[in-house]
Amino acid sequence: MSKILIIGGVAGGASLAARLRRLDEQAEIILIEKGPYISYANCGLPYYIGDAIPQREKLFVQSVSGFSQRFNIDIRTLSEAVQIIPERKTVCIRKAETGETYEENYDKLLLSPGANPIVPDLPGIRSEGIFTLRDVTDTDRIKQHMRQHNVEDAVVVGGGFIGLEMAENLTMAGLEVHLVEKAPQVMTPLDPEMANFIHQKMYDNGISLHLCCGVTAFEPDGTAIRVHLDNGTEIKTSMVLLCMGVRPNTALAEAAGLRLGSLGGIAVNSYMQTSDPDIYAVGDAVEIPHMLLQHPVLLPLAGPANKEARIAADNIAFGNHRQYSGCIGTAIAKIFDLHAATVGLNEKQLAKEGIPYIASHTHSASHASYYPASKMVDTKLLFHPETGQILGAQIIGMQGVDKRVEMIAQIIRHKGTVEDLCETEQAYAPPFASAKDPVNMAGFVAENILHDRYRIIQWNEWQKHDKSGTLLLDVRTPEEFRMGHLSEAVNLEVDHLRENLNQLPKDKEIVIYCAIGLRAYIAYRILTQHGFTNIRSISGGYRTYQMAVKKF
């Protein structure tokens, strides 16, 4: 009978424990958890704070007693693993309530220690009213502080997924919210023009955005806190949430002599096995392969952690036979009624890695436009300029964003191309989609670009473009043109283009745009077949350009 010791009882550890028991009824399984709870929904914590999830017990997938009884697992909460001794195959464990330590031996050891919130060494950082959010205990402290001090405002530091979710939920709870972000945008997996859709939504819902701003100090002021920013701004608030990202919790592994990767996470092979063959590791603390890169990444997401745990359990139970193929970073966030999703690589990553790419923007209806309540889906696609392999996608909208990013994710995982997007099948009926789904439309446009049937210029390229020898042609209706247009543009509606070809110069570059790109493509094809050779179109049209250049 084998003895498996698991350190960490949230996503990865609890999943592995349950899977192991289903595979091996005879194994002795011991789960060690530093905190008082196991198997809880830490991704749901912001929604409990904002009362979108009103009942605290809904956060718990399983209680300790229920999990232990169902799976016959020895669960020891409030117990901290303080040392691993690989040569003896033992772990030194400290009981939180008594301070007593003891050793537990193992045949196989699984590490799922997670990650720790980043807390910068700033003046006043330990002041009352400043919190991180990583577990249920953090959540309880935040809720208690809000009740006791009748909190009416808050500062959220950090514009990643947790920061955005906290800003939204605190706003929905009636608080006045400031969000501070050192970068020029929130949600850095998005490229800047796509992130601006989120900035607009936050602005519309009353959140004060402080971009390109870092915190220099926190100053207690009675029951309040003064947050000092590096641009001289000072914000007085009742509560601060630090959402500045996480670092892999590797102290235990490093002290045991396990190899760490180049990014500081625990190094594992494709079997989720560490440098010690009897120790496996999963979750936020490990470096995992990225399917589009030549090196591993840190990806603190619950989905990959659970998949890694399942594979590790199979390998512990039956020997190494299942390999983890890697991740592509599929993720989504809700910001009020806006949904923002990303998969694969963005422009910043592609440029850093030296991977050639083309970017394309499309804007399509979430379902048949004649069926009520259709919403716009804004898509950015990144693909290889020679092979057409899809390298990444970013999707923003109010409906159907999740299913579209998942469709593209499956194509990326199988090294698919823009042609695969064109042929992707979806369930179609007017309430759910269009016969030409937004995913298909993204593929159609990318395919035209790939095969040189359509040449584009990006919004930021047009900003820097020498416009002296270029005619900028707006092919929307005169009514649309009057409502707003690029300052250099000349208006000639696409439906009247053929009878006015003699007004357009063939010896100059012509850059075309419309509202979202479709009419500009039609105009482009008309002109190219009438002898115009130096033509480009602004990718994504006026919608993309207008959003990209907007300042917040």
**Residues with active-site annotation:** 514
**By C-alpha distance, which of 503, 512, 499, 510 is closest to 532?**
510
* Residue 348 backbone dihedrals phi, psi, to 5 degrees: -60, -45
CB atoms within 10 A of CB 518: 16
Amino acid at 44: G
What CA–CA distance (Å, rounded) separates 461 from 440?
26
Q: For residue 319, how far is the Cα from the chain centroid?
A: 34
HSE, side-chain direction, 13 A CA sphere, residue 458: 15
Using a 10 angstrom Cβ sphere, with 0-12 exposed, 13-18 middle and 19 or more buried, the burial of residue 8 is buried
- Report the run of H or E that residue 241 belongs to, with start and end: strand 240-242
**CA 544 to chain CA mean position, Å:** 21
Query: What's the DSSP call for residue 41?
Result: -
Q: What is the 3-state secondary structure (H, E, C) of 439-460?
A: HHHHHHHHHHHHCCCCCEECHH
Token pair 């009878």 is at which residue? 499
Q: What is the full DSSP assignment across 417-438?
A: BHHHHHH------TTT--SS-H
Looking at the DSSP assignment, which residues form a beta bridge with residue 290?
A: 327
| φ, ψ (nearest 5 deg) of residue 98 | -115, -20
d(CA 324, CA 319): 14
CB 135 within 8 A of CB 306: no
Instruction: Give me 91's structure tokens.
Output: 């772990």
Alpha helices in 55-135 (DSSP H): 64-71
Question: 189 has which bridge partners?
Answer: none
Give the list of residues 6+ apart from residue 41 with CB closer than 8 angstroms, or none: 58, 59, 60, 61
Contact call for residues 3 and 28 (beta carbons, < 8 A):
yes
Question: For the chain, what is the radius of gyration of the CA atoms?
Answer: 27
Residues 6+ apart with CB under 8 A from 300: 115, 246, 248, 284
Count the alpha carbons within 13 Å of 21 in the hemisphere toward its beta carbon. 19
Question: The tokens 């359990």 sit on which residue?
Answer: 313
Spatial neighbors of 324 by CB under 8 A, at least 6 apart, are 270, 271, 272, 288, 289, 307, 308, 311
